[in-house]
Structure formats: C-alpha cells, structure tokens
Amino acid sequence: MIRSMETLFISLLAYILIDFLTTPAVCGIFGIYSYHIDYKRSNVVECLLRGLQRLEYRGYDSAGIAVDSVPLMDGQEVSESPIIVKAKGKVEDLKTLCNATFSRMDVDMDVSFGTQSAIAHTRWATHGPPSSINAHPQSSGEDNAFVVVHNGIITNFNVLKEFLIEKGEKFMSDTDTEVIAKLCSYVYRSLKGRATLAEV
C-alpha cells in the first residue's frame, strides 16, 4: 500500500511539474498573514516585494500590493483602510512607486504589527489592458473594505458587473476581478454588516 501511494504521489508531482512548466504565463500571488507576531511594516513590504520578484519568471505586465494601514490591537476597530500600491511594469517599478507613495503619505514604516495581513500580485492581462488601474489588488471602493487578487477568468463577470452597476456600484477598472470585491461589498451591505466573511 505504501509503495503504491509513493508511486501515486510521484506521478502526481510529475504531472504538476509538467503542467507547471508547460502552462503559459499566468499571474502570481504572494501573501502574508501573521498572528501575534510583531513585524514592522517595512519588513512586510520588503517580504511582499521579494515574493513577487521570485514570481517574475512567470511573466507579467503589472504588479501591486496591499498592506494594513494601522496595527490591530485586541478589540480595536480599524478606522483606516488598507494601503494599495499598483504599477504597470516590473516589480522594480512597483518598489520605486511604493517608496514614493509611502513617503508622500508620510507612512510610518517602522510601526510594528502584532497581527498583519498583506497581499501581492503580478498580473498577466486577460480583461483590460496592462495599466496601474487594472493591476491587482482590486478593491471594493475608496475604503478598500474588500481587497482581492485572483488568477483566472470569471466567465460571467459581465452579468455580475451589470447587476452591480444597477445597484449603484461604480467600477474603476476593466478587470473581471473587481467584480469579486464589489460583489462582496454589496452582499455585506445587503446583510447590514451582520455577516462574517465566510457568510459573505
């Protein structure tokens, strides 16, 4: 039994590797989540950018990151939205833009977070041309209440987009991914904030 399981595992691993090596360029996702472990914002941003650099071989046209704006304390409500920085071009362009954006916003890069969630993405355009607006992360609105990155294609995004526009949502990008963030926001508001993320 163990021998056959090893063979199955090796076969599956070989299939995944062959599929991985023969699949055309696709997006890359890198995320960080820490719980009760202090990290400085500068360390989180550096880790996200390094993670994206390791995904560069996959090919992409733009990149972006989202990081928490304020440290969370037990029982504290978040009053500020996550910070999103996106750039057309290479990760090095994103890094330059991050430095400029955090400096312009006077963001404290030395603040430590006990609980931190952050996400990064390299995009290979499918819906909408390469641009900073179409780069991921995509958000639900100015408050960035829902921030999403995703690989793949949402085949019915036009139907969902039309529905959400009828409900008053305003779209900023040409991507299908923005629909996910807007839909989560719409459902959450429809439930009057009484829903958990799993319920949304």
Who's near 113: CB < 8 A, 6+ residues apart?
Answer: 34, 38, 39, 40, 41, 44, 68, 71, 72
pTM attached to this predicted model: 0.79
What's the pLDDT band for 189 if we cut at 50, 70, 90? confident
Q: Please, what is the average pLDDT of the chain?
A: 80
Q: What is the mean pLDDT of residues 69-86?
A: 70
| Cis bond upstream, residue 137 (ω within 30) | yes
- Decide if pLDDT at 8 tops 70: no
C-alpha distances in angstroms, 86 versus 15, 92, 160?
A: 34, 12, 24
Report the candidate in 146, 138, 142 with the shortest Cα–Cα distance to residue 176. 138
- pLDDT tens for 111-141 read 888 888 899 998 887 788 888 899 989 999 9
CATH number for domain 23-190, candidates 3.40.50.880, 3.60.20.10, 3.40.50.300, 3.40.50.620: 3.60.20.10
Helices (H), 38-176: 41-54, 91-104, 157-166
Report the candidate in 123, 119, 117 with the shortest Cα–Cα distance to residue 173. 123
Q: Where are the domains of the chain?
A: 23-190
Point out the least confidently predicted range of 54-63, 74-83, 169-178: 74-83
What is the pLDDT at residue 197?
63
27 is a catalytic site residue: yes
